Amino acid sequence: MDVLAGDRLGRLQLSAPAVAERDRRVLAAALERRIPLVLTMGGGYAEPIELTVSAQLSTLTLAAQAHQRWRSGVASAAQAKLTPA
């Protein structure tokens, strides 16, 4: 979250919606390419700290949604293999 506007160490100054858009793009690209991801939350020194916490929660929420889409796709693919043509 060092990219977040208001962060004392980062200098990219992205708004919270811009960070969420970054996350959506990364998650979509990984999902499309079937690349596994691991999220570790760290960094982020925005003032007030609630900005960092909110942005991290957004990232985790978007990741959970992407995981759900992946699980749905896996289930659909498995069902298609079991269904006679």
pLDDT band at 73 (very low <50, low <70, confident <90, very high): confident
Would you state the structure tokens that stand for residue 51, as one six-digit string?
């900005």
**Mean pLDDT in the chain?**
88
Q: What is the mean pLDDT of residues 13-35?
A: 94
Q: What pLDDT was estimated at residue 9?
A: 86
For the ranges 4-8, 11-15, 62-66, the one whose mean pLDDT is highest: 62-66
Place of tokens 């659909």: 76
pLDDT band at 83 (very low <50, low <70, confident <90, very high): low
Predicted TM-score of the model (pTM): 0.82
Helix (H) / strand (E) containing 29 = helix 16-33
